[in-house]
């Protein structure tokens, strides 16, 4: 990866000599200031204050644990991910909503199982107890119930908060973005569910991620398996959350949890063990289960199997079966799921093989990046009772249930994958197209600052990104350096005499145009010439950001 | 204003009869289900749960005080405001950053004067004391200091939090967006400041707000006035915050505060009173002050006056003087300003004339909308010491000061102005371009659901916003209703026989095309035909959102 200062490839400094060719020829009035190094930005700019010194300081210059600032090209990449995903959601008929960052605490209560302890609480606000949202799903269900909405496809891109152990370089943070798409409304079995799976495939591939699989299971089938294995109904959720640990822990540990901590017999645990080992294509696992008389005799499991049969038709229509792995060990921790559940994983999702060892060796107790994986990069499921739960708990006489199904993309995790593949893409955090400069000299030389402002204003009024040096008299070298730093492809130059005669010079910037003196045009028509030249620049230009995002 | 259900003008229901003309003719296989009313969305959808019932409920279905959900076309308008402002900021060379929603509490401490009591605190996070950010300026200064940044133009569009008395319909909320643009770095006097003022003018006019003025003052001049009036240096900030109340309180009340509460003599207060009454154009007030020998003899005031002289040159170059009112009563509450201060106001900014009376009559203690104005719609100023304050407090050996100047647009307040001018603009919250339908009948009619999915998938792959009814067999009327609700201009129709022969029908939607049977095309080329037809639709279409935003 190219080392960058302030979003600017360091190699640009080498181009400087090329531009000097131009400006030394361009005008006899050139100032005499000698070349100075580019760096008014010190090299340590991107470093944070040393952690060792903290104890001596009055104020810690840092962000709270598990949070970070985003800036520079990281921000450009993250915004490009947001744009890609919102366009995807719009493509599927989604409309967007926004809910407050904090909710009444009672809204979040009892929705997240064992993870409820990770919720951030605010101090009592004069009798109102509030907490930062833990996800976007519960606020969405609250919104649907509160407004008596019967059906909606909504997307929501916003921050959520979890007081978990952070692993920053793996994109596992305490403040992070979710990009959610959910379909609320009573529809035919598996029809919206299949579209959600298609959205996962479209979303990840459009972000250049192709080596993923969607692990998928059905809560009804899982509950059926627990029933036929001898788990009582009230134990189902806690056994489910034991199974959920199978992606991190070996079967023996999970079995121990079931038997020792959660009161199941050895036999029950072993029966569960046989089932949850099953995984393969939708068709394979479906066939295996539908030939199992015990499963077929269980009402819940057989309901789930019927739904899976529908799902197969639709995933075939979308041509997305190849991405799907029917995996009976997938349980998902959250309480509110009632049907299909799924998560998308890549090779980077898994923890390193020797995670336990690495954890012992890890020097940081603050960050788990050394020994955890990226985790799932998108996850979701069907939750048919959540809206109703709110409607009932609030005393609403809601007639019908509002079933929901949705998906949440983990942006920071996806970002960390995109950063890994990043090569020397020429991405800049600013969009400046024109740099306005003035060249002159002699005793009566004013530097043309108000004149540069007037010229810039005309360009702004035409919608063109324009900058100039904030200095009355700026020497040509400084102006060229600033222009190159900005990445602007064009300069508009006010030559001392030329401008006095109503002329402006328009010049392409960049090393390949160092010998080009540009074009002298009438001040009255310069905006049109600039627009014309910019459309030429962008005609053959490639958008480096989308190239990077799509992994090209 | 048109009453809307779910973003859909109610009048659309009347178009239904027109489309029935088409589909009854279109196919002999038409289903027989009778017409049903459009409304699967009940009319009370947009109503919140009645406040009177609250006490009986277990869970209050509401958002915390001073916060609200955003949805539907409100969301479309707000996003259009964000886009307008980010494009503006990019036009001026801005790059964007993102900081966490909460900061270490010590970062926010001592920055907001009397308003510090409005900060939201989070519960202790295992030894870390954090608070929700109160503005975007202090986090920005923390970011600049932490990363040793020497210069940056940054914009940041994000939520901030203030535990103030809300006035929801006036856009004064506890959770609200700020859109900030700031220039950090040591530059020539007033050069970036003038560009910031230009950004206010460009920003507001591009949002269709033309009847605003920018009230502007200079802290150094104000401090000079206090000095020559006999205020001691340590009293300056508290006298300044008394003057700040002049936009809400009469001079007599402010004078009383100075004399009775803040220990100034009558004479001092009267002298201040003479000065702060002054306002007019930049030139007028500048001339008045620079002819005042007492002011000119004061070092601070005369420094400020010199700066104002520069500023006038630049605002003239930008042609924005006519928007500016030099107003010596403007003080701004925040502690950190050191130079130019300004705020943009419109007629709606002021409280009603009989505010005190209205306040007494007001039925709600929860919301102040009945008796307050919208307030300033953009505000900012120069703060030259804030970055340095952080650098020093953290023990950094920072060489140079990093002076800053910036502006913050109040989006919710601007939104409330745009909503007021809103007429029957045809804005929809979704972007669907194509509705895929199937028409057929008879015993062997399957409804073509997987086939519709395949067709939709091809359109999605081509980047086209596409929906279809989530039902195996949907009757034509239902499909047309859903299509009209979505606002899609085109339908792709799978006729039972036509599709079997490899043909798809492409038809324009809308009442004016009721008699148009559309075009039958080869399934192999239908995507190209759709793209072609859509480009025709959008060629003569007007973007209603930008029309509304720009106030056309």
Please tell me the distance from the alpha carbon of residue B522 to that of residue B505, in angstroms, as a whole number.
9
Domain ranges of chain A: 72-421, 434-542
Q: pLDDT value at position B425?
A: 65
**Among the listed residues B67, B71, B76, B78, the one whose alpha carbon sits nearest the alpha carbon of residue B5:** B71
H helix intervals, A319-379: 355-361
Question: Are A92 and B65 in contact (CB < 8 Å)?
Answer: no
* Residue B333: both structure tokens together: 């509450």
Of A402-411, B34-43, B176-185, B450-459, the range with the lowest mean pLDDT is: B34-43
Q: pLDDT value at position B541?
A: 56
Q: Residues 6 or more apart from A65 whose CB is under 8 A from it?
A: A166, A174, A366, B125, B128
Q: pLDDT value at position A18?
A: 38
Average pLDDT over residues A77-85: 95
Q: Give the ipTM of the model, two decimals please.
A: 0.86
- Average per-residue pLDDT for chain A: 87
Nearest-by-CA chain A residue for B431: A90
Scanning B379-398 for CB atoms below 8 A from A yields 390-391, 393-396
Q: pLDDT value at position B368?
A: 75
Residue B10 has pLDDT above 60, yes or no: no
Average pLDDT over residues A243-250: 88
Residue B507 has pLDDT above 80, yes or no: yes
A286 at interface of B, judged by CB pairs closer than 8 A: no
Listing DSSP states for B372-437 in one string gives: -----SEEEEEESSHHHHHHHHTT----S---EEEEEEEHHHHHHHHHHT--S----S----EEEE
Of A25-34, A357-366, B203-212, the range with the lowest mean pLDDT is: A25-34
- Average per-residue pLDDT for chain B: 87
Q: Residues 6 or more apart from A83 whose CB is under 8 A from it?
A: none
Q: How long is chain A?
A: 552
Residue B30 has pLDDT above 70, yes or no: no
Average pLDDT over residues B8-30: 41
What number of CA atoms fall less than 13 Å from residue B296's CA on the CB side? 8
Q: In terms of pLDDT, which residue wins out, A4 or A329?
A: A329
Of A59-68, A270-279, B226-235, B536-545, the range with the lowest mean pLDDT is: B536-545
Listing DSSP states for B465-526 in one string gives: -EEE-SSSS--HHHHHHHHHHHT-SEEEEEEHHHHHTTEEEEEE-SGGGTT---EEEEGGGH
Question: Are B151 and A460 in contact (CB < 8 Å)?
Answer: no
**How many residue pairs bridge chain A and chain B with CB atoms within 8 Å of each other?**
319
* Model confidence band, residue B112 (pLDDT cutoffs 50, 70, 90): confident
Longest distance between any two alpha carbons in chain A, whole Å: 100
- Residue B381, beta-bridge partner list: B341, B406
pLDDT in tens, A345-376: 998 777 777 777 777 777 777 777 777 777 89
The percentage of residues in chain A with a pLDDT greater than 70, rounded to a whole number, is: 87
Q: pLDDT value at position B53?
A: 41
A439: exposed, middle or buried (Cβ count in 10 Å: 0-12, 13-18, 19+): buried
Q: Which fold has domain A72-421?
A: BirA Bifunctional Protein; domain 2 (3.30.930)
Q: Residues 6 or more apart from B309 whose CB is under 8 A from it?
A: B286
Q: pLDDT value at position B544?
A: 73
* Residues of B in Cβ contact (< 8 Å) with A175: 100-102
Question: Are A395 and B101 in contact (CB < 8 Å)?
Answer: no
Distances (CA, A) of A24 to A36, A474, A496: 16, 15, 15
The residue to which tokens 């995670």 are assigned: A355
Q: pLDDT value at position B395?
A: 81
Which one of B307, B394, B486 makes the best mutation probe of the A interface by having the most chain A beta carbons within 10 Å? B394
Average pLDDT over residues A403-421: 92
Average pLDDT over residues A519-528: 97
Residue B471 has pLDDT above 60, yes or no: yes
A513 at interface of B, judged by CB pairs closer than 8 A: no
* Residues of B in Cβ contact (< 8 Å) with A71: 95, 97-98, 143, 147, 154
Sign of CA dihedral B78, B79, B81, B86: positive
Question: Are B95 and A7 in contact (CB < 8 Å)?
Answer: yes
A337 annotated among ligand-binding-site residues: yes
* Residues of B in Cβ contact (< 8 Å) with A146: 48-49, 61-62, 69
Residue B410 has pLDDT above 60, yes or no: yes
Question: Are A454 and B318 in contact (CB < 8 Å)?
Answer: yes
pLDDT in tens, A205-243: 999 999 999 999 999 999 999 999 999 999 998 899 899
Of A474-483, B20-29, B306-315, the range with the lowest mean pLDDT is: B20-29
Q: Residues 6 or more apart from A386 whose CB is under 8 A from it?
A: A111, A137, A138, A141, A336, A404
Q: Residues 6 or more apart from B548 whose CB is under 8 A from it?
A: B77, B80, B208, B418, B422, B425, B427
The percentage of residues in chain B with a pLDDT greater than 70, rounded to a whole number, is: 87
Average pLDDT over residues B363-377: 77
**Among the listed residues A382, A337, A396, A385, the one whose alpha carbon sits nearest the alpha carbon of residue A146:** A396
Q: In terms of pLDDT, which residue wins out, B2 or B481?
A: B481
Residue B70 has pLDDT above 80, yes or no: yes
**B509 to chain A nearest CA, in Å?**
17
- 3-class secondary structure, A27: coil
Question: Are B67 and A147 in contact (CB < 8 Å)?
Answer: no
- 3-class secondary structure, A438: strand
pLDDT in tens, B151-198: 999 999 999 999 988 888 777 799 999 999 999 999 999 999 999 999
Q: pLDDT value at position B540?
A: 60
* Model confidence band, residue A22 (pLDDT cutoffs 50, 70, 90): low
Asked if residues B101 and B212 have their Cβ atoms less than 8 Å apart, the reply is no
Listing DSSP states for A134-184 in one string gives: S-SHHHHHHHHHHTT-S-EEEEEEEEEE--PPPBGGGTB-SEEEEEEEEEE
Query: Where does A434-542 sit in CATH, by number?
Result: 3.40.50.800
Q: In terms of pLDDT, which residue wins out, B61 or B47?
A: B61
Residue A281 has pLDDT above 50, yes or no: yes
Please tell me the distance from the alpha carbon of residue A135 to that of residue A374, in angstroms, as a whole number.
18
**A275 to chain B nearest CA, in Å?**
31
Please tell me the distance from the alpha carbon of residue A100 to that of residue A88, in angstroms, as a whole number.
24
Asked if residues A411 and A179 have their Cβ atoms less than 8 Å apart, the reply is yes
- Residue A315, beta-bridge partner list: none
Residue B215 has pLDDT above 80, yes or no: yes
Please tell me the distance from the alpha carbon of residue B333 to that of residue B165, in angstroms, as a whole number.
17
Question: Are B71 and A103 in contact (CB < 8 Å)?
Answer: no
Q: How many CB atoms are located within 10 Å of the residue B101 CB?
A: 24
H helix intervals, B327-385: 355-361
B470 at interface of A, judged by CB pairs closer than 8 A: yes
Average pLDDT over residues B385-412: 88
- 3-class secondary structure, B29: coil
Q: In terms of pLDDT, which residue wins out, A113 or B85?
A: B85
pLDDT in tens, A463-474: 999 999 999 999
Average pLDDT over residues A167-193: 93
Average pLDDT over residues A485-497: 96
Average pLDDT over residues B192-210: 97
* Residue B511: both structure tokens together: 């009442």
Please tell me the distance from the alpha carbon of residue A312 to that of residue A321, in angstroms, as a whole number.
8
What number of CA atoms fall less than 13 Å from residue B365's CA on the CB side? 0
pTM exceeds 0.80: yes
* Residue A147: both structure tokens together: 């407004």
Asked if residues A342 and A197 have their Cβ atoms less than 8 Å apart, the reply is yes
Average pLDDT over residues B33-40: 37
Residue B6 has pLDDT above 70, yes or no: no
Of A101, A143, A146, the CB nearest to B175: A101
Of A48-62, B165-179, B228-242, the range with the lowest mean pLDDT is: A48-62
B462 at interface of A, judged by CB pairs closer than 8 A: no
Q: In terms of pLDDT, which residue wins out, B336 or A404?
A: A404
């Amino acid at each position: 990866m190219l080392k960058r200062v302030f979003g600017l490839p360091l190699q640009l400094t080498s181009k400087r000599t090329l531009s000097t060719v131009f400006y030394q020829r361009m005008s006899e009035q050139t100032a005499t200031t000698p070349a100075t190094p580019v760096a008014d930005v010190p090299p340590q700019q991107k470093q944070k204050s040393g952690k060792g010194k903290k104890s001596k300081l009055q104020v810690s210059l840092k962000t709270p644990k598990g949070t970070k600032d985003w800036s520079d090209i990281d921000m450009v990449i993250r915004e490009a991910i947001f744009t890609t995903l919102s366009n995807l959601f719009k493509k599927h008929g989604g409309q967007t909503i926004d809910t407050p960052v904090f909710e009444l605490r009672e809204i979040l209560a009892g929705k997240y199982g064992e993870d409820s302890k990770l919720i951030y609480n605010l101090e009592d606000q004069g009798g109102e107890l509030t907490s930062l949202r833990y996800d976007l799903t519960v606020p969405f269900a609250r919104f649907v119930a509160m407004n008596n909405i019967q059906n909606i496809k909504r997307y929501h891109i916003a921050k959520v908060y979890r007081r978990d152990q952070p692993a920053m370089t793996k994109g596992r943070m305490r403040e992070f973005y979710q990009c959610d798409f959910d379909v609320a409304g009573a529809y035919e079995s598996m029809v919206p569910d299949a579209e959600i799976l298609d959205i996962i495939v479209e979303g990840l591939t459009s972000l250049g991620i192709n080596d993923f699989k969607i692990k998928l299971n059905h809560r009804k089938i899982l509950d059926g398996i627990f029933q036929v294995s001898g788990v009582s109904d009230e134990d189902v959720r806690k056994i489910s959350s034991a199974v959920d640990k199978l992606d991190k822990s070996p079967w023996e540990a999970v079995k121990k949890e079931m038997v020792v901590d959660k009161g199941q017999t050895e036999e029950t645990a072993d029966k569960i063990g046989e089932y949850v080992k099953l995984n393969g294509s939708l068709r394979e696992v479906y066939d295996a289960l539908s030939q199992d008389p015990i499963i077929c005799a269980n009402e819940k499991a057989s309901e789930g199997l019927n739904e899976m049969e529908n799902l197969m038709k639709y995933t075939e229509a979308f041509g997305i079966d190849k991405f799907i792995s029917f995996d009976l060990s997938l349980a998902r921790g959250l309480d509110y799921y009632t049907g299909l559940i799924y998560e998308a994983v890549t090779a980077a999702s898994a923890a390193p093989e020797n995670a336990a060892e690495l954890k012992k060796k890890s020097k940081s107790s603050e960050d788990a990046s050394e020994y955890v994986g990226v985790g799932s990069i998108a996850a979701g499921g069907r939750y048919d009772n959540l809206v109703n739960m709110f409607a009932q708990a609030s005393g609403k006489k809601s007639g019908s249930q509002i079933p929901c199904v949705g998906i949440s993309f983990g942006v920071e995790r996806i970002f960390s994958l995109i950063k890994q593949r990043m090569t020397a893409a020429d991405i800049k955090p600013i969009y400046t197209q024109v740099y306005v400069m003035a060249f002159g000299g002699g005793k009566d030389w004013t530097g043309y600052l108000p004149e540069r402002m007037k010229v810039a204003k005309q360009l702004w009024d035409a919608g063109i990104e324009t900058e100039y040096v904030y200095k009355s008299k700026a020497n040509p070298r400084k102006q060229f350096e600033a222009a190159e730093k900005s990445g602007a492809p064009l300069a508009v130059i006010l030559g001392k005499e030329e401008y006095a005669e109503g002329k402006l010079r328009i010049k392409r910037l960049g090393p390949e145009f160092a010998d080009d003196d540009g074009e002298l045009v009438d001040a009255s028509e310069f905006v049109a010439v600039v627009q014309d030249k910019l459309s030429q620049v962008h005609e053959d230009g490639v958008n480096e950001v989308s190239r990077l995002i799509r992994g090209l």
